[in-house]
Structure 1
Amino acid sequence: MDTVESPPLSLDLQGRRLRLDPHMPAFVQNPYAVYAHLHHNARAFFWEDYGMWCLAGYEEVNSALRNRRLGRQVPAGTVLYGAQHLKDFAAVEAHSMLELEPPVHTRLRTLVNRAFVSRQVERLRPRVEALCHHLIDGFTADGEADLIPAYATPVPITIIAEMLGVPVEMDDRLLDWSHRMVAMYMHGRSQAVEESANEAAREFGDFIRSYAAKRRKEPGDDLLSLLISAHESGDRLSEDEFVASTILLLNAGHEATVHQLGNAVATILAQGGDPRRFFASAEGTAATVEECLRYDPPLHMFTRYAYEPVEIADGIRLEPGEQVGLMLGAANCDAHAFERPRAFLPGRADQKNVSFGAGIHFCIGAPLARLELQVALKVLFERLPEIALAGPPRYRDSYHFHGLERLVCRW
């Protein structure tokens, strides 16, 4: 056995078996030390705590993301959320674009994709910029703020709510439903968490159905009206698909961006000096955002099912129905793929992060997330160039989502 002490893990090199509690505080606060150890010793390994094989190397993860023998949809005969207390959550998941494969995935993605292409998203830049200034106006005189609730959260939740045509004043309820639902993806969830997620899915679905009934009478130029129209056309979007698609867009439209914005602020402040230097040009801003996405991404694991026997790494073969964990955060800091991976180097020549995934499930909201990050970071540091951390940033115990529970700054 090869053992390191901080954070505590045990790695059986011969069997490629890892024991590491993902709730271990040292790992939660700095998973990258473990990732470096894995890159050197076991780029593919069986994570005992999760009960599945995982891939940590860039090439292995990137290849698996594009492998059509692996997918998101639960294989036939597998019951993932069969318990009665999860029936409402299961109903949403069963019709979510994120959890489906072609041809249904293709039909749903094509329907909503036009709202998220770069030329459409670019039109939102003035609105995002105005929102960022408005939020900063609300706390700048205080001289100190926790930027997670004050800034990182309201930017993406407001924009996605406006895009969908959902009342922005409902943001607290939308956030509550979203947080309770995504808790289902955490390691070691309890039945109480499951019951809460199911209740949130039911309440969220009821709200979407009720609000859509009102919007049918007054359609607008927004995503919800587009989805309503697709549902009413009969063969394009069923009632369940309509509800699941709306919930997915609201949840995915803010959850990861909140984490990434907070992580990016902490990363840039950790570099010292005038933060405005990273945003002196449009090219520099874009390069800085890409490096933030690589350096400390918001999603560290994404899973796939095997649909047929498939070799995912040297000597590691999955049978149909088995899952594999794709460790995006680890792939992004693989020294085999990136020069000086734990150095923050905007504009690096080897920028090829997998933070948005790859293949047919590449994040549909990537253009929107990039724009929000570019604008929010640039505006924040131009408005508050003297900003500094008021205390060490602390990450939430929520692997595989990787985000800060607080980010208190002063200026």
Structure 2
Amino acid sequence: MDSLPEIHLNLNDPDFVYDPYPRLAELREATPAFYDPVWNKVFFTRYEDIAGLLRDKRLGRSILHVLSRDELGWPPPNPLTRDFDHFQENHILDNEPPKHTRLKGLFLKAFTPARVEGLRGKIQSIVNALLDRAEDRGRMDLLHDYAEPLPVAVIAELLGVPEEDRHLLRPWSAKIVKLYELGYTDEQAREANQAVVEFSRYIQALAEDRRKHPRDDLISALVQAEEAGDKLTEDELVANCILLLNAGHEATVNSTTAGVLALQRHPEQKKLAVEAAKAGHGEFFKGAVEELLRYDTPLPMFERWVLYDLEWKGIPLRRGQEIALLYASGNRDPRKFSHPDTLDLTRADNPHLTFGLGIHYCIGAPLARLELQTSFQTLLRRLPNLAVVEPVEYTGGFVIRGHKAMPVEF
């Protein structure tokens, strides 16, 4: 890329993963766009560019509907990820119109606002049960005892996965999402592919049961969803159920642990939140959750393919090229947010990038918001003296930036 500075951003460097914000601020000011020859991607760091590119229909989450592997100069498909690749081809996130439009329309026939709102009481019950188990102990691992089981239980409830099978979901998802990091190993590829195979078989069996014995759950609704005579194929139904778990719980888990850590490091903000929780001020937590999602972005980077040649602010982007959008950087851009490095739970104007923009805006955002608002309000009301035992370790990747564990005392 002759017109852009060449910089390698080591996304897997432990120091960068632990605290990426100083380096992102340097890049945002000095080189808002740059080409990384190691990752072979053009990176964008400023809010205005990221927001604009997310809305630009000349970019997409997939490319093979526009160019063949030969035209892209890609090697043949990796046999280690055959089933994973098939899963990718059939879910909403990695498709473009017209297929994306069709899939999204059918999925939203079943995944309605009323269905999400109907989970409110169940979410509160799950949160209460998790805290009941921990409250008398005076300590827990916030990640494994609270942040992880909550969204898995909620999505299992939404889909209609029986209680006795729910322990299967998190391990499958944890293996699958490794392939969204840059630089995964062959062993991780094998494990992810096998997880897709096992998860798919499980959803297929569940869907077959719901065809015969419908219930009030999302899988039953997806089986029945129809628009203009069109229905989801079995592969599409399976892929989107798997996507819902992967996307729906990874972000929520990371938001919970990152949010608790941010509150600990900003005691005056934590005090505000605890007071609001004790007073039952649910409205406070609507804004507070948006700020926690902005301040420490749970999924800090997303990628797009250039579908057609274009020029973006003087930067030529060629068909078949890949760009990386650093949400975590855009969410701290002072051109968009006043005092962006300050956590302000009362921030009024907060158009953060965390759920994306454009046609690929996260369809699970309403559920994630409901979970996080309930989770933080109840956690801080019941455990106001919650304290993280630092330092905490991260899992090793930036793209899905999560913690290995988070011991807390209360």
Tell me whether the two structures share a fold, i.e. TM-score over 0.5. yes
Offset, 1:278: 4.9
1:99-114 equivalence runs, <5 A = 99-114=94-109
Residues 78 and 321 in structure 1, CA contact (< 8 A), matched pair in contact too: no
Moved more, 275-284 or 218-227: 275-284
Q: Determine if the alignment matches structure 1 residue 388 to structure 2 residue 387.
A: yes
Residues 90 and 14 from structure 1, CA distance in 2 versus in 1: closer, same or farther, beyond 3 angstroms? closer
Residues 84 and 196 in structure 2, CA contact (< 8 A), matched pair in contact too: yes
Offset, 1:382: 0.3
Residues 13 and 41 in structure 1, CA contact (< 8 A), matched pair in contact too: no
* SS at 1:98 equivalent: coil
Q: Could you list the runs of 5+ residues in structure 1 that have no partner in the other structure? A: 1-11
2:275 alignment counterpart: 277
Q: Determine if the alignment matches structure 1 residue 187 to structure 2 residue 177.
A: no
In the alignment, the residues of structure 2 paired with residue 38 and residue 181 of structure 1 have an alpha-carbon distance, to the nearest angstrom, of 31
In the alignment, the residues of structure 2 paired with residue 164 and residue 129 of structure 1 have an alpha-carbon distance, to the nearest angstrom, of 18
Residues 13 and 184 from structure 1, CA distance in 2 versus in 1: closer, same or farther, beyond 3 angstroms? same
* SS at 1:65 equivalent: helix
Offset, 1:123: 2.6
1:177 alignment counterpart: 172
Residue by residue over 1:45-83, the C-alpha shift from the partner in whole angstroms, topping out at 9 and shown as x without a partner, is 112331110111000000011000001122333447712
Residues 261 and 13 from structure 1, CA distance in 2 versus in 1: closer, same or farther, beyond 3 angstroms? farther
2:246 alignment counterpart: 251
Q: Could you list the runs of 5+ residues in structure 2 that have no partner in the other structure? A: none
Offset, 1:129: 1.1
Offset, 1:158: 0.5
Aligned partner of 1:189: which letter?
Y
Q: 1:66 aligns with which of 39, 48, 55?
A: 55
Moved more, 315-324 or 287-296: 315-324
Residues matched between the structures, number: 399
Aligned partner of 2:201: which letter?
D
Offset, 1:375: 0.3
1:110-189 equivalence runs, <5 A = 110-189=105-184
In the alignment, the residues of structure 1 paired with residue 309 and residue 173 of structure 2 have an alpha-carbon distance, to the nearest angstrom, of 35
In the alignment, the residues of structure 1 paired with residue 288 and residue 251 of structure 2 have an alpha-carbon distance, to the nearest angstrom, of 18
TM-score (norm 1): 0.92
Q: Determine if the alignment matches structure 1 residue 310 to structure 2 residue 310.
A: yes
Offset, 1:377: 0.4
Offset, 1:13: 12
In the alignment, the residues of structure 2 paired with residue 171 and residue 232 of structure 1 have an alpha-carbon distance, to the nearest angstrom, of 31
* SS at 2:252 equivalent: helix
In the alignment, the residues of structure 1 paired with residue 292 and residue 399 of structure 2 have an alpha-carbon distance, to the nearest angstrom, of 18
Moved more, 37-46 or 280-289: 280-289
Q: Determine if the alignment matches structure 1 residue 333 to structure 2 residue 341.
A: no
Identity %: 37
In the alignment, the residues of structure 2 paired with residue 232 and residue 214 of structure 1 have an alpha-carbon distance, to the nearest angstrom, of 22
Offset, 1:246: 1.5
Residues 164 and 224 in structure 1, CA contact (< 8 A), matched pair in contact too: yes
Offset, 1:380: 0.5
Residues 155 and 248 in structure 2, CA contact (< 8 A), matched pair in contact too: yes
In the alignment, the residues of structure 2 paired with residue 140 and residue 233 of structure 1 have an alpha-carbon distance, to the nearest angstrom, of 51
Q: Determine if the alignment matches structure 1 residue 51 to structure 2 residue 28.
A: no
Moved more, 212-221 or 143-152: 212-221
* SS at 2:7 equivalent: strand
Residue by residue over 1:149-168, the C-alpha shift from the partner in whole angstroms, topping out at 9 and shown as x without a partner, is 10001111111111111123
Q: Determine if the alignment matches structure 1 residue 296 to structure 2 residue 291.
A: no
In the alignment, the residues of structure 2 paired with residue 267 and residue 88 of structure 1 have an alpha-carbon distance, to the nearest angstrom, of 38
* SS at 2:299 equivalent: coil
1:379 alignment counterpart: 378
* SS at 1:405 equivalent: coil
Offset, 1:26: 1.0
2:345 alignment counterpart: 346
Residues 139 and 60 from structure 1, CA distance in 2 versus in 1: closer, same or farther, beyond 3 angstroms? same
Residues 305 and 321 in structure 1, CA contact (< 8 A), matched pair in contact too: yes
TM-score (norm 2): 0.92
Q: 1:77 aligns with which of 54, 62, 67?
A: 67
Residue by residue over 1:325-370, the C-alpha shift from the partner in whole angstroms, topping out at 9 and shown as x without a partner, is 1111111001111111110012324311010000111000000000
In the alignment, the residues of structure 1 paired with residue 109 and residue 285 of structure 2 have an alpha-carbon distance, to the nearest angstrom, of 25
In the alignment, the residues of structure 2 paired with residue 318 and residue 15 of structure 1 have an alpha-carbon distance, to the nearest angstrom, of 11
Residue by residue over 1:253-281, the C-alpha shift from the partner in whole angstroms, topping out at 9 and shown as x without a partner, is 21211111111111112211534135452
Aligned partner of 1:101: which letter?
E
In the alignment, the residues of structure 2 paired with residue 43 and residue 177 of structure 1 have an alpha-carbon distance, to the nearest angstrom, of 37
In the alignment, the residues of structure 1 paired with residue 32 and residue 258 of structure 2 have an alpha-carbon distance, to the nearest angstrom, of 25
Aligned partner of 1:276: which letter?
V
In the alignment, the residues of structure 1 paired with residue 220 and residue 228 of structure 2 have an alpha-carbon distance, to the nearest angstrom, of 12
In the alignment, the residues of structure 2 paired with residue 44 and residue 168 of structure 1 have an alpha-carbon distance, to the nearest angstrom, of 47
2:196 alignment counterpart: 201
2:18 alignment counterpart: 29
* SS at 1:37 equivalent: helix
Q: Determine if the alignment matches structure 1 residue 225 to structure 2 residue 220.
A: yes
